[in-house]
Amino acid sequence: MKYSFRNDYSTICHKKVLEKLIECQDEQNIGYGEDIHTINAKRLIQEKIKNKSDVYFLVGGTQTNMTVISHILKPYEAVIACESGHINVHETGAIEGKGHKVLTAYSKDGKLTKELILNILNNHTDYHMVKPKMIYISNTTEIGSFYTLAELKSIYKCAKENDLYLFLDGARLASALAASDIDYPDYAKYTDVFYIGGTKNGSYLGEAVVFNDLNLSKEFQFSIKHSGAMMAKGFVASIPFEVLMEGNLYKEIGENENKCAIYLKEELKKLGYEFYSDSNTNQIFVNVNKKCAEYIEKEYSFEKWSDIDDDFLVIRLVTSFTTTIDICKDFISYMKAYKN
Amino acid sequence: MKYSFRNDYSTICHKKVLEKLIECQDEQNIGYGEDIHTINAKRLIQEKIKNKSDVYFLVGGTQTNMTVISHILKPYEAVIACESGHINVHETGAIEGKGHKVLTAYSKDGKLTKELILNILNNHTDYHMVKPKMIYISNTTEIGSFYTLAELKSIYKCAKENDLYLFLDGARLASALAASDIDYPDYAKYTDVFYIGGTKNGSYLGEAVVFNDLNLSKEFQFSIKHSGAMMAKGFVASIPFEVLMEGNLYKEIGENENKCAIYLKEELKKLGYEFYSDSNTNQIFVNVNKKCAEYIEKEYSFEKWSDIDDDFLVIRLVTSFTTTIDICKDFISYMKAYKN
Amino acid sequence: MKYSFRNDYSTICHKKVLEKLIECQDEQNIGYGEDIHTINAKRLIQEKIKNKSDVYFLVGGTQTNMTVISHILKPYEAVIACESGHINVHETGAIEGKGHKVLTAYSKDGKLTKELILNILNNHTDYHMVKPKMIYISNTTEIGSFYTLAELKSIYKCAKENDLYLFLDGARLASALAASDIDYPDYAKYTDVFYIGGTKNGSYLGEAVVFNDLNLSKEFQFSIKHSGAMMAKGFVASIPFEVLMEGNLYKEIGENENKCAIYLKEELKKLGYEFYSDSNTNQIFVNVNKKCAEYIEKEYSFEKWSDIDDDFLVIRLVTSFTTTIDICKDFISYMKAYKN
Amino acid sequence: MKYSFRNDYSTICHKKVLEKLIECQDEQNIGYGEDIHTINAKRLIQEKIKNKSDVYFLVGGTQTNMTVISHILKPYEAVIACESGHINVHETGAIEGKGHKVLTAYSKDGKLTKELILNILNNHTDYHMVKPKMIYISNTTEIGSFYTLAELKSIYKCAKENDLYLFLDGARLASALAASDIDYPDYAKYTDVFYIGGTKNGSYLGEAVVFNDLNLSKEFQFSIKHSGAMMAKGFVASIPFEVLMEGNLYKEIGENENKCAIYLKEELKKLGYEFYSDSNTNQIFVNVNKKCAEYIEKEYSFEKWSDIDDDFLVIRLVTSFTTTIDICKDFISYMKAYKN
């Protein structure tokens, strides 16, 4: 059986999440997120972030992005993102489907900066153009980089100075928490709304949207239902967060992912491999030639990210809550056996 | 502990579904519905309906309705529904949110007929009005009634004669299968697209959309993602259907629900209660006075459906895969003890 | 040459409007409604309504309705209208195209009342349904009736008590001003936003949107452009209003229309004709048999409104700024010559 | 009185258009574009382009772009444009407002090429991303450049080979016809749909949409009304095209514009001025220092296009049907009098 480094959403869920399902299997709960598990998961998140933010549980990342953005923006308002941002590239136009333009800036490392944001603002000054009103960033980013606390603060300051909302996509927040100096309470302090990803961090589904600006969450349940994002069995989305937010499990998942990914990176470096981007999170991007890719494919799954030239390509290796150092050691052994 | 007759989505899932999750917990599967569970669930459904229809697994009912309808209709095309139809009343404008008008006809029993449809068509004849292009019906309906095969055939014939698509919402298809003479293959023959509900029939989530007209499913995956309805862990939505479609489980769930509901209805009749609508499916609507409602509330959960007058109201009792005749017997005993 | 009673938009424009175009033909003006004609037309309207409302000039009625409604409402908010309302029937789903549900109440005379509005509010109480947030009425209505000042005040009071916006469609406001006791300043006092129709009242195009609630017009120019409703030559839409709002011309157009229509109605009554609705405005709805309709068609144009039965139908006769009592006398003579 | 080189939409309309209005002022015409003027204008266009294309008359450019694009594309389909394209920059997100992503490529001269298009196609290969389905180009472009026939053919060939529609925005088609070797019939042969701009070429409003692929125009009137773009007085939009398409007037307007603009350019060159882009059409972009801009402003209106640095900026001078060589000579004399 091939081990898959293809992504961090190949396995149903963390064992502790499944145990919780088994434990709750005979309960009868109220629908639509008004149940005690949802209330409890919300409380646990508020404790983690040390703030009485408003919390809702949605199913997936694209759904969360489109529901949050369309809830907050007026029809002619736009959201600023990196060119490589998930909402710009990999959501099949879901944000535009809700009527909003995504204004983009190119950045090699997948991160926005104050300068990039101001440049967009300077180019959008009248009613013939959309009105930029929100900044969208991801932590970790789509290419494995992460924001530092100083960077986050700088963007948040820029947002407040320019009357913009700051929305942070935490699809891979576990890995970000483990890699960066931004801790839970900072996300409450330095964003207006963010989400804590479940799907890619040990849950079978679910993203916890956290509104730090309570004006923004007003009537959000209408938008959830209007966007087709309301689960009848709301507790199915919140139960995993009861588990992940208990103790330190969520961050530990990120720590394990990062540890494994960094191990892979360091060992591959020793073997002479180069990297498409410098990542210390759970996605690493390795330059390999095509013969090598074929060799790896025999025993491991991974994603082909992009072609470099006729001979070389970038492959993405992703670690998850199922990855162990032993699995990584096996992989490195396998790579050592490869003769170019 | 109160037993809840409030709805059919209060318990996580049928035990066999949970067992399957446990069985698959260590697997690594491909994302986005391209995994073997999805393929297998699709095959099982095709066998049940005896047709090579195209099948996709989405999360919830409103999401399914809005994704299917907006995938098929052009911007100026409209969908015909009963006034009481779920898309008209209980989806917070999700269909309109996708740009489409819902044209409605009133019908006491919650069911469309050829005559009601033709009446709408006759009133929409030029480009100053929306163009009716799809019929939406639910089986069972929102008020517990169900279509017979003859009725379904009549509507489908009307659809085809008038160049309309017929879309059937099967949020409670298990109950419909058990109550009506419409069998699985009839749904493939006499609709263009329908869905087999999971959420309200033993799964923790999921609706299986079945396109019988293969022209309609072309590029549907784009619409799924565009609507925020694509699960990264697609197998989480399809695994329950592997279980429910295996053997006769899905229909058995409906049979149990209906048996329990009919038992409640017959026994309550004996006690002199009257009913808001004549239902032989898993939702029954009982007229009670307010004192009686308060009495029931002490030991059981249910939904207050609507007020009749200052003294009387309609309550809804819903049975599910967790309901047993013993539970119903206890309830009837409790009702017998009530002194008006 | 047949005279046409088909509608009030068959002739390019009132002669005085054309004279103004000729007068201004050599000017160079600023674009996008920032020119002096627009400023002047806005000032004239503010004087008429005795209020410093915000005024914008759009092209047509459907465009105005969809732009105003979508500017004000959040995605899940809905607008309440009569079943016969223009936005519900005759805009090809433009309001839904902007994402908003139109909630309707049936009323024989085409007018909303406090009771009809409250009934809708009572049925929309949670986030599973759209949130009613705006009332839409037309004066005159689509079937020729008109609101009195008392009726308008009652609806406005209801709106304010229930946190709803009141939007009045004045496509035929000239006829309404002439027929009703509601004067210009009342429209500023008892609506949040309304529009003064140009297209059907002597202009070649144009509707003047008047925001009495200045919070609602904030950034409206973004919405105008976003909806494709911004004219590069904005002065083309405002110049006619300079003419129509000068002195009493606009209301005089309505007075002439009404006078002619009432003449037709009274004379037809004397000839024994009955009416589909009781109108004192510029649209009258006459019941005729099919042979009679054919007879009229030989010499006059009109619109067939609806069938009554196999023998009888309703025809609509509309008067406009081009109609004169002499034209009407000729028509009545022609009708007298008809032998049933 | 300052002469304005600010844009080509500052004067109501060409004198011949106004004469036609005066000539037709007493007519009664059918509404909604079913009148004889519209039929005649359509016929004249078909003769010019030597093709039985379908023709509709809309009000403005943004409206036309959003109505055409949303009529043709499915919700998840996207349109490819230059970064500088009108739909990308200057329509306040109207295309996104209709749900569609605009995919952009940077090009210095404001023109798309086969290579730029193919590059976008190569990056959009699965259902996680929007599906590119249409190419949007403008002739003349937003920065005054124009396509040659060879360039148009190459893009059209690329469109057909890749199952894309080609839509050409002819807001300034008169200038393009005068500058380029693309003649009327070529627009019918080498685009699927294009529009002949009226607003910027002598009409008071109006754009004639020409569908060469008749499959694309099916039910377009529904989309027109659904988008708020249907004029009750449809003849108001088509009458100007009866005038402009009679004989050679439309192209002559472009020839005069270009002649004047080229005169300005050549004379300014002699005075040592440099240009932001090389244009032979009716927009020229001149680099001037701020003092010079202030000097010009005293006697002429123009648009400040962009800053070059602290001292220099680009100004845009636009010629129109009202510009004459004499006006240009005066301007050049005025410029000669400027001492730096």
CB contact, 8 Å: B232 with chain A? yes
**Is B11–A4 a contact, with Cβ atoms under 8 angstroms apart?**
no
Is the model's pLDDT at D278 over the cut of 90? Answer: no
Q: pLDDT tens-digit profile of C310-320?
A: 999 999 999 99
Is the model's pLDDT at C151 over the cut of 80? Answer: yes
Average pLDDT estimate for D290-311: 95
Is the model's pLDDT at A338 over the cut of 80? Answer: yes
Q: pLDDT tens-digit profile of D195-242?
A: 999 999 999 999 999 999 999 999 999 999 999 999 999 999 999 999
Q: How confident is the model at residue A21 (pLDDT cuts 50, 70, 90)?
A: very high
**Contacts of residue B183, Cβ cutoff 8 Å, sequence gap at least 6:** B177
Residue of B86, B96, B134 to mutate for C, most C C-beta atoms under 10 A:
B96
Average pLDDT estimate for A134-140: 98
CB contact, 8 Å: A9 with chain B? yes
Model pLDDT, residue B277? 85
CB contact, 8 Å: B78 with chain C? yes
Residue of A nearest to C132 (CA): A222
CA B275 to chain centre: 21
Phi and psi (nearest 5°) for B282?
A: -85, 5
Task: Give the C-alpha separation, C256 to C178, whole Å.
Answer: 9
CB contact, 8 Å: B27 with chain A? yes
- For residue C95 the two structure tokens come to 């309001």
- For residue A148 the two structure tokens come to 């530092």
B128 vs D98, D131, D225: nearest CB:
D225
B228 vs A94, A199, A225: nearest CB:
A94
B93 vs C90, C93, C101: nearest CB:
C101
Tracing tokens 């963007």 back to the chain, one arrives at A155
Other CB atoms within 10 Å distance of the CB of residue D183 = 15
> Which chains have 3 or more CB–CB distances shorter than 8 Å to chain B?
A, C, D
Is the model's pLDDT at D340 over the cut of 70? Answer: no
Q: pLDDT tens-digit profile of B201-218?
A: 999 999 999 999 999 999
Q: pLDDT tens-digit profile of B229-277?
A: 999 999 999 999 999 999 999 999 999 999 999 999 999 999 999 999 8
3-state helix, strand, coil in chain B (%, to 5): 40, 20, 40
Q: How confident is the model at residue D1 (pLDDT cuts 50, 70, 90)?
A: low
Residue of A nearest to C124 (CA): A222
CB contact, 8 Å: C75 with chain A? yes
Average pLDDT estimate for B127-155: 97
Residue of B68, B72, B127, B218 to mutate for D, most D C-beta atoms under 10 A:
B127
- Provide the residue type at B294 as one letter: E
- Provide, as residue numbers in chain C, all residues whose Cβ is less than 8 Å from the Cβ of A130: 222, 226
A130-164 burial code (b ≥16 CB/10 A, e <16) = bbbbbbbbbbbbbbbbbbeeebbebbbebbeeeeb
CB contact, 8 Å: C90 with chain B? yes
Strands B300-301, B3-4: pairing is parallel
Compute the mean pLDDT over every residue in chain D, rounded to the nearest whole number: 97
Is the model's pLDDT at B311 over the cut of 80? Answer: yes
**Contacts of residue D177, Cβ cutoff 8 Å, sequence gap at least 6:** D183, D184, D250, D251, D254
Model pLDDT, residue C1? 62
CB contact, 8 Å: A232 with chain C? no
| Nearest chain B CA: its distance from C183 CA (Å) | 31
**Is B127–D75 a contact, with Cβ atoms under 8 angstroms apart?**
no
Model pLDDT, residue A278? 83
**Is C225–D25 a contact, with Cβ atoms under 8 angstroms apart?**
no
| Nearest chain D CA: its distance from B218 CA (Å) | 11
Q: How confident is the model at residue C278 (pLDDT cuts 50, 70, 90)?
A: confident
B96 vs C91, C99, C127: nearest CB:
C99
**Counting one residue from A and one from B, how many pairs have CB atoms under 8 Å apart?**
153
Q: How confident is the model at residue B2 (pLDDT cuts 50, 70, 90)?
A: confident
Q: pLDDT tens-digit profile of B21-61?
A: 999 999 999 999 999 999 999 999 999 999 999 999 999 99
User: What is the edge-to-edge ordering of all strands in the sheet holding D207-211?
Assistant: D54-58, D207-211, D193-197, D165-169, D131-138, D77-82, D102-105
Is the model's pLDDT at A319 over the cut of 80? Answer: yes
Helix, strand or coil, per DSSP, at residue D185: helix
D228 vs C12, C60, C233: nearest CB:
C60
- Provide, as residue numbers in chain B, all residues whose Cβ is less than 8 Å from the Cβ of D94: none
Model pLDDT, residue B1? 62
Is the model's pLDDT at B153 over the cut of 80? Answer: yes
CB contact, 8 Å: C16 with chain D? no
Q: How confident is the model at residue A277 (pLDDT cuts 50, 70, 90)?
A: confident
Q: Which residues pair with A303 in a beta bridge?
A: A316
| Nearest chain C CA: its distance from A217 CA (Å) | 13
CB contact, 8 Å: D32 with chain C? no
- Provide, as residue numbers in chain B, all residues whose Cβ is less than 8 Å from the Cβ of C129: 89-90, 92
* Beta carbons of C53 and C184 less than 8 angstroms apart: no
Compute the mean pLDDT over every residue in chain C, rounded to the nearest whole number: 97
Phi and psi (nearest 5°) for C124?
A: -130, 90
Residue of C nearest to D23 (CA): C12
CB contact, 8 Å: A304 with chain D? no
B92 vs C76, C89, C90: nearest CB:
C76
Q: Which residues pair with B132 in a beta bridge?
A: B78
| Nearest chain C CA: its distance from A131 CA (Å) | 8
- Please give the full DSSP string across B7-60, using - where no structure is assigned: -S-SSS--HHHHHHHHHTTT----STT-SHHHHHHHHHHHHHHTS--EEEEES-
- Provide, as residue numbers in chain D, all residues whose Cβ is less than 8 Å from the Cβ of B232: none
SS3 track for D9-40: CCCCCCHHHHHHHHHCCCCCCCCCCCCHHHHH
Residue of C34, C222, C230 to mutate for A, most A C-beta atoms under 10 A:
C222
Residue of C nearest to A67 (CA): C75
Nearest Cα to Cα of residue C100 among A75, A220, D73, A100 = A75
| Nearest chain D CA: its distance from B112 CA (Å) | 26
Q: pLDDT tens-digit profile of D230-277?
A: 999 999 999 999 999 999 999 999 999 999 999 999 999 999 999 998
Average pLDDT estimate for C239-250: 97
Model pLDDT, residue D33? 96
> Which chains have 3 or more CB–CB distances shorter than 8 Å to chain D?
A, B, C
Compute the mean pLDDT over every residue in chain A, rounded to the nearest whole number: 97
| Nearest chain C CA: its distance from D66 CA (Å) | 7
| Nearest chain B CA: its distance from C325 CA (Å) | 32
Tracing tokens 């960077």 back to the chain, one arrives at A151
Is the model's pLDDT at A92 over the cut of 70? Answer: yes
**Contacts of residue D41, Cβ cutoff 8 Å, sequence gap at least 6:** D55, D57, D208, D238, D239, D241, D242, D245
| Nearest chain D CA: its distance from A66 CA (Å) | 12
Task: Give the C-alpha separation, A139 to A152, whole Å.
Answer: 10
Q: pLDDT tens-digit profile of A142-161?
A: 999 999 999 999 999 999 99
CB contact, 8 Å: B93 with chain C? yes
- Provide the residue type at A268 as one letter: L
Model pLDDT, residue D2? 85
Is the model's pLDDT at C95 over the cut of 90? Answer: yes
Is the model's pLDDT at A340 over the cut of 70? Answer: no
More confident residue, C136 or A339: C136
Compute the mean pLDDT over every residue in chain B, rounded to the nearest whole number: 97
- For residue A275 the two structure tokens come to 């990297």
Task: Give the C-alpha separation, C114 to C87, whole Å.
Answer: 19
Q: pLDDT tens-digit profile of A164-206?
A: 999 999 999 999 999 999 999 999 999 999 999 999 999 999 9
Q: pLDDT tens-digit profile of D28-39?
A: 999 999 999 999
Model pLDDT, residue B207? 98
Other CB atoms within 10 Å distance of the CB of residue D273 = 16
Average pLDDT estimate for B8-31: 98
